[in-house]
Amino acid sequence: MRHVILAAAAVLGMAVAPHLARAQTPVVEASAAWARATTSSARVGGVFLTLTATGAPDRVVSGSTPVAERVELHETLNEAGIMKMRPVEVLLVTPGEPVVLKPGAQHIMLMGLKKPLNRGDSFPLTITFAKAPPVTVTVTVQAAGAAGPGAHSH
Ligand SMILES: [Cu+2]
């Protein structure tokens, strides 16, 4: 009887282990990606989206898009009433805690825009992570003063 239980456990262990290993690998999804329209002379633009991780925590490593030379992660700080932006060193994405990148907070900055972002345009943005496979989202350009992906302009 004891042998049978051990044998059964061994079989289960072999069957379950690869499944657990897969569950530990994070998958990060990006959704609701949008950007604010820019003026014709602007060289930078902001992109906002939501990152959701499943499986395990992960970290954003970099981003790229054909419309800009460089992609940076920024945060907006209010220092004595003056809004400033600075690069985010580490952006973690934890399962169950979606990271919402939005105006006035953490955001993606397109540096060296190759052309203005016009309302109604869309472009691809690829984000890479430390462990999860890279994701490419379609970013939709909203009005210059928009507050969200589906915001009305007044
Ligand atoms: Cu910025």
| Domain residue spans of the chain | 27-142
Evaluate if residue 5 carries a pLDDT over 80.
no
- How much is the pLDDT for 140? 97
Task: Name the pTM for this structure.
Answer: 0.80
Specify the residue for token string 């282990």: 17
In 37-148, where do the E strands start and end? Answer: 44-54, 58-64, 68-79, 82-87, 92-93, 99-100, 107-113, 122-129, 135-142
Q: Is the pLDDT of residue 108 over 90?
A: yes
Whether 105 contacts 85, CB under 8 Å: no
- Condensed to tens digits (0 to 9), the pLDDT of residues 48-102 reads 999 999 999 999 999 999 999 999 999 999 889 998 999 998 999 999 999 999 9
Residue 153 pLDDT grade (very low, low, confident, very high; cuts 50, 70, 90): very low
Dist. CA 100 → ligand 1 center (Å): 15
Ligand 1 center to 94 CA (angstroms): 23
CA of 75 to the centre of ligand 1 (A): 6
* 22 Cα: distance to centroid of ligand 1 (angstroms): 35
How remote is the CA of residue 130 from the centroid of ligand 1, in Å?
Answer: 22
Q: Is the pLDDT of residue 14 over 80?
A: no
pLDDT level of residue 152 (50, 70, 90 thresholds): very low
* Cα–ligand 1 centroid distance for 132 (angstroms): 24
Q: What is the pLDDT of residues 20-48, one digit of tens each?
A: 555 578 999 999 999 999 998 999 999 99
Residues contacting 105, CB < 8 A, separation 6+ = 75, 76
What integer pLDDT is reported at residue 85 of this predicted model?
A: 92
What's residue 148's pLDDT? 84
The alpha carbon of 61 and the centre of ligand 1 are apart by a number of angstroms equal to 16
- Cα(18) to ligand 1 centroid in Å equals 41
CA 131 to centroid of ligand 1, rounded, Å:
25
Question: According to the model, what pLDDT value does residue 4 have?
Answer: 54
27-142 placed in CATH 2.30.60.10 = no
**Centroid of ligand 1 to alpha carbon of 90 (angstroms):** 15
Of 69 and 6, more confident: 69
**pLDDT value, residue 145:** 85
Q: How far is the CA of 6 from the centre of ligand 1 (A)?
A: 58
Output the pLDDT for position 83.
87
- d(CA 121, CA 119) in angstroms, rounded, equals 6
